[in-house]
Chains A and B, each alone.
Chain A
Amino acid sequence: MIQLVPRQGVSNGWQIATPLLAVLATMVAGGILFAIIGYDPVAAIRTIFWDPLFGPAASYSRPQLLVKAAPLILIASGLAVGFRAGIWNIGAEGQYIIGGITGAAVALALYPLEAWWLFPVMVLAGLAGGWAWGMIPALLRNWFGASEILVSLMLVYVAQRIAAWMAFGPMRNPEGMGFPGSRNLQQYPSAANPELLTGTGAHWGVVAAALAVLATWFLMSRHIRGFHLRAAGIAPRAARFAGVNPQTLVAFCLGLSGALAGAAGLFEVSGPAGQVTAQLGVGYGFTAIIVAFLGRLHPVGILLAGLLLALTYIGGELAQLTMALPAATVQVFQGMLLFFLLGFDLLTRFQIRRSIAA
């Protein structure tokens, strides 16, 4: 008989090994899936995981890595803080959209003013928009006990509709010949979020993501607030006993993750996306959940996981172009990755022993 014996502590070795195992298992399972639907599994895996970095078109796709990884890392850093504390913000997608809209609103309202302070104010507006959208589930939970999971998720659908309304209504480009979508902020110098170093893909969002990784690392491992957050996630009563106010914690976590998601939205709308459209939300908010888990809710892990998932995005697009793989392949991959990770996680918490049945 096989027995599960809880480990005395959490195994550090397995902490690092399980994400790698999960990635490997995903590649194998993904290969099998490709074979089933009639693609060459080896070529497909290579196109997704290898070619974007080292393939023939790598010079085009490599910069894309940072462009896609930045929002993922920025959002996941905030989410991970909340997940550690047992506060489940799964509406980052909505906070991302609202942050993008509020940030863009500043620029669109002041157009065509050119000023050095415009972009910083937009960033603040993006942070504030995401923060406010995240505070809705926080306050509803604190005041009424409503589940932050369901409220934050419902607000994603609301945010998507607000984005559509903005694109078709209030924010529609007056010079856009009737097409939906706002002015293109990339063509508005003071409001644009340009590539900072040519050929790297690095824009201000990349800088912000790096700062977020550093800041959350400091918070979680050096500051007493991070300690309290972790305690609250494992043993809420012990955290209360230590002096943590659960309501403050809820507001802090949802506010922080909302603000970071909002900033990610702003950097996207002023940079790679360029404008507010109905399709402002492209799923970064959901993928960031996977990034957070794959990174073990640890800032450095999130950094690596963000890059890996960015790779699957680019690789997926590449595979769509060169092999005509369905676009949803990436989504399936990401879902599988999370599945395998959660499954292998058992190894970090339990030892598997064989016992001889009497």
Chain B
Amino acid sequence: MIDPISVFLLLLSASTPILFAALGELVVERAGVLNLGVEGMMIAGALAGFAAAYASGNPFLGFLVAALAGATISMLFALLTQVFLANQVASGLALTLFGLGLAAMFGKPFEGVRAPPMPMGPLRINWIVWLGLAMVPAIWWFLNRSRAGLILRGVGENHDAAHALGYGVRATRAAAVAFGGAMAGIGGAFISIATVLQWTEGMTAGAGWIALAIVVFSRWTAPGVLAGAWLFGGVTVLQLRLQAAGVDVPVQLLSMAPYLATILVLVLISARQKFSRHAGGAAPGSLGINFHALR
């Protein structure tokens, strides 16, 4: 009854928004910045992308605009944390609350209209899904093999040392935050343009937060992010399948599954880092700490 290929395709689709957002946040955190505004950037991308796709009839233009919107709104966070040295946790929360509000405010005219159809890519898989999959090795290569990636990791690991060696800590971090914003924007737009096919308020439903958890799960590696996104996608598909199959459990309880799974995964991975001496220290050394060159 269950066709494994179609289940896998569903899984790919369900995991793509999280994959984009988490890959972006991975780069941000590797640069030593904790941006809790992923949810806000995703919803901004979801709306801006949907609006652009709807207005132009071209879904790809929608994704481009979504990336721009996510990057733009992320600059508010970069300004606060990198220039005004505001607390990163609070600034990220502010970004999420602001993004959710902004999207709700500007989204009214787009309620109830449908997104233009997405042309399928090879193997009947959405082009954006392909793009997300391609980003995994690309980001891995960037972080581990490129000079710019090395500098970015250096900045995230020890910003004082990076500064002493003459690297621009704030500029590097601002660039990373912008990239994270663009990726979150694309992830959000995938929900509105390619999955739900319309705009509804609060439609990201915590996906940004799940993406943050998946970065922890990945132990700050790109392949780990893919694994985490698929795990999450799997739980989502399973939950939907069970709903469709009419299992005798209230829908509301089934729909908790992704969130409970996220908590479970977070606990398992944190416990592993806590109790095994050698696994520890995967998080970038300067994560979440603001940099201010004293003299």
Contact = CB atoms under 8 A, between A and B. Distances in A.
B20 interface: no
Interface stretch (B58-66, B93-101, B240-248): B93-101
Interface string A139-158: 01001111101110111111
Given A150-B212, A345-B84, A326 B104 contact: yes
Contact of A150 (B90, B106, B205, B209): B209
A336 B259 CA distance: 28
Contacts of B270: 140, 144-147
Given A145-B270, A289-B93, A342-B86, A331 B252 contact: no
A4 interface: yes
A275 interface: no
Interface in B240-295: 250, 252-253, 255-256, 259-260, 262-263, 266-267, 270-271, 273-274, 292, 294
B197 interface: no
Contacts of B131: none
Contact of B262 (A154, A329, A346): A154
A98 to B, nearest CB: 13
Contacts of B262: 150, 154
Interface in B87-113: 87, 89-91, 93-95, 97-108
A338 B108 contact: no
B85 interface: yes
A168 interface: yes
Q: Is the interface of A mostly helix, strand, loop or mixed?
A: helix
Interface residues of B, number: 51
Contacts of A326: 104-105, 108
Contacts of A293: 90
Given A342-B94, A349-B85, A147 B101 contact: no
Contacts of A90: 93
A339 B253 contact: no
Contact of B80 (A168, A333, A339): A339
B102 A144 contact: no
Contacts of A334: 97, 101
Given A154-B213, A331-B97, A343-B80, A146 B252 contact: no
**Residue of B79, B93, B260 ringed by the most chain A CB atoms within 10 A:** B93
A289 B271 CA distance: 28
Given A140-B267, A146-B267, A154-B263, A88 B89 contact: yes
Nearest to B265: A146
Contacts of A346: 84-86
B57 interface: no
Contacts of A332: 98, 101-102, 104-105
Contact of A149 (B36, B85, B94, B250): B36
A347 B206 CA distance: 34
A290 interface: yes
A37 B210 CA distance: 33
Contacts of A158: 256, 259-260
Contact of B292 (A4, A145, A147, A345): A4
Considering residues B107, B260, B266, B292, which has the most beta carbons from chain A within 10 angstroms of its beta carbon? B266
B109 to A, nearest CB: 10
B108 A161 contact: no
DSSP majority for the B interface? Answer: helix
B209 A161 contact: no
A338 B250 contact: no
A211 B255 CA distance: 38
A162 interface: yes
A150 B89 CA distance: 12
Contacts of B104: 326-328, 331-332
A210 interface: no
B85 to A, nearest CB: 6
B128 to A, nearest CB: 25
A295 to B, nearest CB: 13
B133 interface: no
Contacts of B210: 154
B25 to A, nearest CB: 12
Given A342-B86, A342-B87, A150 B101 contact: no
Contact of A290 (B86, B97, B259): B97
Nearest to A343: B84
A145 B250 contact: no
A143 B99 CA distance: 34
A165 interface: yes
Interface string A48-68: 000000000000000000000
B222 interface: no
B184 interface: no
B98 A154 contact: no
A157 B206 contact: yes
A154 B271 contact: no
B259 to A, nearest CB: 5
A176 interface: no
B201 to A, nearest CB: 8
B76 interface: yes
B41 interface: no
B250 A165 contact: yes
A346 B290 CA distance: 12
13 contacts: A140-B263, A140-B267, A144-B267, A147-B216, A150-B212, A150-B213, A150-B263, A154-B260, A155-B259, A161-B256, A338-B90, A338-B98, A343-B79
Given A140-B267, A331-B100, A333-B101, 20 more contacts: A4-B85, A6-B294, A143-B271, A144-B271, A146-B263, A150-B262, A150-B263, A151-B267, A154-B206, A154-B263, A154-B266, A158-B256, A161-B255, A286-B97, A290-B97, A327-B104, A334-B101, A338-B93, A343-B79, A345-B86
Cβ-closest 9 pairs across A and B: A335-B98, A331-B101, A328-B104, A165-B252, A342-B86, A332-B101, A338-B94, A144-B271, A328-B105
